[in-house]
Amino acid sequence: MRSDFVAHEVLNGLRRNVTMTIAMVLTTAISLALVGTGLLAVRTIDRTEELYSDRVEVQVALASDVSANDADCSQPICQGLMTTLKNSPLVESVRFESQQEAYARYKQLFAGQSLADVVRPQSLPATLRVKLGDQAAGAAAVKQAMNGQVGVRTVIDQRDVVAKLFDFLGGVRNVTFALALVQAIAALMLISNTVQVSAFTRRTEVGVMRLVGATRWYTQLPFLIEAVVTGVVGAVIASVGLIVGKFLFIDELLSGIVSNGVVPPIQLADVLWVSPILVMIGGGIAAVTGYITLRLYVRL
Amino acid sequence: MIRLDRVTKVYKTSTRPALDRVSAEIERGEFVFLIGPSGSGKSTFLRLLLREDVPTRGTITVNDLNVAKLPRRRVPRLRQRIGCVFQDFRLLPNKSVGENVAFALEVIGKPADTIRKVVPEVLDLVGLDGKAERMPNELSGGEQQRVAIARAFVNRPFLLLADEPTGNLDPDTSQDIMLLLERINRTGTTVLMATHDHSIVDSMRRRVIELDMGQVVRDEARAVYGVGR
């Protein structure tokens, strides 16, 4: 195989269809940028889940009499609950928070607000704060084990509170993937069409190649490489767009919730992690589309 | 070397076969005219030899290869051994004379130094030395056909198929092209030429295979185009 010949043919082909090539590159770039955004959303969701898995606990609030009479979980009811929880393989650790400790934390949390003055220690329950070893199955198991037990007022899963945040992030991911899919269909059709036009404008060359006995690979390779080049260039533009977008828009947009520690920041490394994936998707899909188009629509 | 055994070709869109139980044998180094009116099956005959199409029935053997049964991936190798020339030259307008000839070698993966050596040789053989840099549109019809012949011959095929190669040329230029084809034939290459040109067939006195309505109606050595045609 003469690589200089193939390279020459590819360059010529791209130059000859320059407007089409640009359209194809841009459509691919937009589609892949959306895919990239979706991948970043997935990564952020994973990171956020990690972030919260360290923080989120299941709280077993104790009944008011237990709360009032047991300041250090030394009495049988609280001890019993504590032992049950600690014996569960799904639980990592259990910490007792007394009424007084709860009150102190409450004061600190609402410092300077009128709510802080209204509350008395007696109105807050003592809690067993349970850190889960198994995030998936743990919460349900704890709930089942604790609900209805003597001395238990209620069981609160903090994950129910952050579920809304995950819903939002999940929504962002779904919308970007849906847009990416629509855009990808447009990109696929454009790639297919460009390959056909390219083959048509070069039908004399291709005819001569067939006649003199060029192999199928030799006749097809320039068209395939053309498609792959545009796919890869589109992916590179998409990656650059994501980097620029991160610094210009995303950082600004997320600055509030990132500095509050609600979601982790999107790092440059995250974008750089996404880029090679986009290049592979771009090149791969272009190659497959080009190949199928040549097989189905172009007689080579 | 070439053997057609009761070859029939029926196109889907036609009720009458394009070739109807055609049998013929052509030996290595022969010069054969394929004549007959338009639609008599000449082009189909050439297309089947090139494996552009496969016969509906019958067998075609070229150099001991069963052409119709040849697996797809081996077709390029067959075509590399067969040269082709057409009435409309089929040159690439954006490539120079030299590049047009080199193209035929580049696309079958010949090394660059071989190409640099053999292209000037073949251009010299067809009488185009010194014109390698010219573009096809700067050449006369006869010269363009010489480029096409150079391209067909540059890989030294054992068989040269010519489909009305003089159809677009004036009588004098046609004579020159025929001299060139004769010269190529003398190197041992078999030449099979489809033509309508009476005067060429009459003056060359070579073997004539005449087709009519897809059937061989005459196969005669050192023949003329035909009385009263």
Distance from the B65 Cα atom to the nearest Cα atom in chain A, whole angstroms: 16
Domain closes at, from A157, A185, A213: A157
What is the tally of structural domains in chain A?
2
Confidence of residue A300 (pLDDT cuts 50, 70, 90): low
Sign of the alpha-carbon dihedral angle for B218, B221, B227, B229: positive
Tell me the C-alpha distance between A250 and A239, whole Å.
Answer: 14
Same domain assignment for residues A286 and A187: yes
> What is the per-residue pLDDT for A299?
67
Same domain assignment for residues A171 and A201: yes
> What is the per-residue pLDDT for B18?
94
Among A211, A216, A295, the strongest candidate for a mutation testing the B interface, having the largest count of B CBs within 10 A, is: A211
Q: What is the mean pLDDT of residues B140-148?
A: 96
> What is the per-residue pLDDT for A102?
85
How far CA A186 is from CA of A26, A146, A227, B1, B35, in Å, comes to 11, 54, 15, 53, 52
CB contact under 8 A, A214 and B90: no
Number of Cβ within a 10 Å radius of residue A113: 9
A209 contacts in B (CB within 8 Å)? 107
Same domain assignment for residues A147 and A181: no
Q: Which residues contact B92 (CB under 8 A, 6 or more apart)?
A: A204, A205, A208, B99, B100, B103, B136
State the burial class of residue B44 (Cβ atoms within 10 Å of its Cβ: 0-12, 13-18, 19+). Answer: buried
Q: If you ran DSSP here, which 8-state letter would residue A250 be given?
A: I
CA A223 vs. chain centroid, Å, equals: 35
Same domain assignment for residues A25 and A110: no
Q: What is the mean pLDDT of residues B6-19?
A: 92
Domain closes at, from A157, A180, A211: A157
| CB contact at 8 A, A262 and A165 | yes
Same domain assignment for residues A176 and A249: yes
CB contact under 8 A, B107 and A212: yes
Whichever domain contains A112, its CATH number is: 3.30.70.3040
CB contact under 8 A, A2 and B103: no
Residue-wise pLDDT for B182-219, tens only, equals 999 999 999 999 998 999 999 999 999 999 999 999 99
Residue-wise pLDDT for A239-288, tens only, equals 999 999 999 988 888 887 777 777 788 888 889 999 999 999 999 999 99
The pLDDT > 90 percentage for chain A reads: 17
- Residue B206, phi then psi, degrees to nearest 5: -115, 180
Confidence of residue A187 (pLDDT cuts 50, 70, 90): confident
Asked whether the predicted pLDDT for residue B228 surpasses 90, the reply is no
Confidence of residue B15 (pLDDT cuts 50, 70, 90): confident
Q: What is the mean pLDDT of chain A?
A: 85
Same domain assignment for residues A46 and A175: yes
- H or E element, residue B4: strand B2-9
Same domain assignment for residues A187 and A66: no
Closest Cβ opposite residue B90 in set A1, A204, A216: A204
Question: Could you tell me which chain A residue has the CA closest to the CA of B89?
Answer: A208
Tell me the C-alpha distance between A57 and A262, whole Å.
Answer: 16
Same domain assignment for residues A219 and A147: no
Q: Does A4 touch chain B (CB under 8 A)?
A: yes
Same domain assignment for residues A22 and A170: yes
> What is the per-residue pLDDT for B56?
95
Q: Looking at the predicted complex, does its ipTM rise above 0.90?
A: no
B107 contacts in A (CB within 8 Å)? 5, 208-209, 212, 214, 218-219
CB contact under 8 A, B79 and A208: no
Same domain assignment for residues A75 and A223: no
Closest Cβ opposite residue A212 in set B72, B75, B108: B108
Sheet holding B2-9, edge to edge: B19-26, B2-9, B57-62, B65-66
Among B80, B106, B119, B154, the strongest candidate for a mutation testing the A interface, having the largest count of A CBs within 10 A, is: B106
Q: Does B188 touch chain A (CB under 8 A)?
A: no
Domain closes at, from A106, A139, A157: A157
Residue-wise pLDDT for A8-41, tens only, equals 888 888 888 888 889 889 988 998 998 898 888 8
B92 contacts in A (CB within 8 Å)? 204-205, 208
Tell me the C-alpha distance between B176 and B203, whole Å.
Answer: 13
Question: Domains in chain B and their CATH numbers?
Answer: 1-81+157-229 (3.40.50.300), 92-156 (no CATH)
Same domain assignment for residues A8 and A131: no
Asked whether the predicted pLDDT for residue B100 surpasses 90, the reply is yes
| CB contact at 8 A, B161 and B192 | yes
Q: What is the mean pLDDT of residues A144-171?
A: 82
| CB contact at 8 A, B124 and B98 | no
A211 contacts in B (CB within 8 Å)? 50, 79, 84, 90
Size of interface A-B (CB pairs under 8 A): 58
- Helices H / strands E in chain A, number of each: 12, 4
Full domain range(s) for residue A187: 3-52+163-297
Same domain assignment for residues A236 and A280: yes
> What is the per-residue pLDDT for B227?
60
Output A156 or B23, whichever has higher pLDDT.
B23
Residue-wise pLDDT for B34-89, tens only, equals 999 999 999 999 999 999 999 999 999 999 899 989 998 999 999 999 999 999 99
Closest Cβ opposite residue A214 in set B73, B108, B112: B108
Give the three-state DSSP class for B158.
Answer: coil
Tell me the C-alpha distance between B55 and B62, whole Å.
Answer: 14
A204 contacts in B (CB within 8 Å)? 90, 92-93
State the burial class of residue A276 (Cβ atoms within 10 Å of its Cβ: 0-12, 13-18, 19+). Answer: exposed
| CB contact at 8 A, A45 and A51 | no
Confidence of residue A233 (pLDDT cuts 50, 70, 90): very high
